[in-house]
A and B are shown apart, each in its own frame.
Chain A
């Protein structure tokens, strides 16, 4: 019974969620650049993980570019591989 309740809540929450639009599609002037740590930091968690696009709302195409940029950024230490708190 309790499990059922959880399911119902989840469905309701899902229904309420608004579809976010991709920030890179919305503003085509933004360049996804591995050198731009400030921009990329918005798409990693505090721990340093890449934010999934179901959370950030980034479209598939831009998420691919973003993931590549973040990985390059990590390599040259603009971004952390993992952040310790």
Chain B
């Protein structure tokens, strides 16, 4: 099966509850993983200021996915993104065509490190009011460490991490209120 390397960024409204956010994240991650794709990285870039207001919102919550998938998967992904009312923007870019998934997976961490460094990402901890996002960065690091050891469990680890993060995020959000 020919698979291509893609990245998708989607932006959700900043004011939605974290369980709703988690639901969207899980749904989209599930689509990638269950339809012949392989998710290398899922990153929470946190809340950022939008360069212009979108549906009255001045901020957006950015999520980034790096994956390999057959060409019809992004279509399905975008169809689902269109169904989400609180998802205000998305972009999918094909990074490389007909890739060897193992090779890309091997380089995914380095690519992430480079990306974080070059774009000055703080994987979520973008603004001061993002208490729950600090966990994301730490969790991501944990995932990385374990990854070296068990290569095949990569995506599963990431998924677990995200799940717990969603729960923690919910707890924190309540605290903030």
A residues lining the B interface (CB < 8 Å): 31, 33-38, 72, 74-81
Is B54 close to A, CB under 8 A?
Answer: yes
Is B123 close to A, CB under 8 A?
Answer: no
A35-B9 in contact (CB<8A): yes
Measured between C-beta atoms, what is the minimum distance from B148 to chain A in Å? 26
Is B60 close to A, CB under 8 A?
Answer: yes
B118-A36 in contact (CB<8A): yes
Pick from A34, A38, A75, A79: contact of B120, CB under 8 Å: A38
Q: Is the interface of A mostly helix, strand, loop or mixed?
A: loop
How many chain-B residues does the 8 Å CB contact rule pick out? Answer: 16
Is B69 close to A, CB under 8 A?
Answer: no
Pick from B11, B119, B120: contact of A76, CB under 8 Å: B11
Besides A33-B119, A76-B11, 6 other CB < 8 A contacts? A34-B93, A77-B11, A77-B54, A77-B60, A79-B51, A81-B52
Contact partners of B52 in chain A: CB under 8 A: 77, 80-81
Pick from A35, A75, A77, A79: contact of B119, CB under 8 Å: A35
Contact partners of B115 in chain A: CB under 8 A: 35
Contact partners of A79 in chain B: CB under 8 A: 51
| Docked complex Cα distance between A38 and B91 (Å) | 19
A31-B118 in contact (CB<8A): yes
Which residue of chain A has its CB nearest to the CB of B62?
A76
B9-A76 in contact (CB<8A): yes
Measured between C-beta atoms, what is the minimum distance from A85 to chain B in Å? 14
Interface mask (B31-60 → A, CB under 8 Å = 1, otherwise 0): 000000000000000000011101000001
B118-A77 in contact (CB<8A): no
Is B172 close to A, CB under 8 A?
Answer: no
Contact partners of B119 in chain A: CB under 8 A: 33, 35-36, 38
Q: A35-B9, A35-B119 are in contact. Are A75 and B91 (CB under 8 A)?
A: yes
Interface mask (B56-95 → A, CB under 8 Å = 1, otherwise 0): 0000101000000000000000000000000001110100
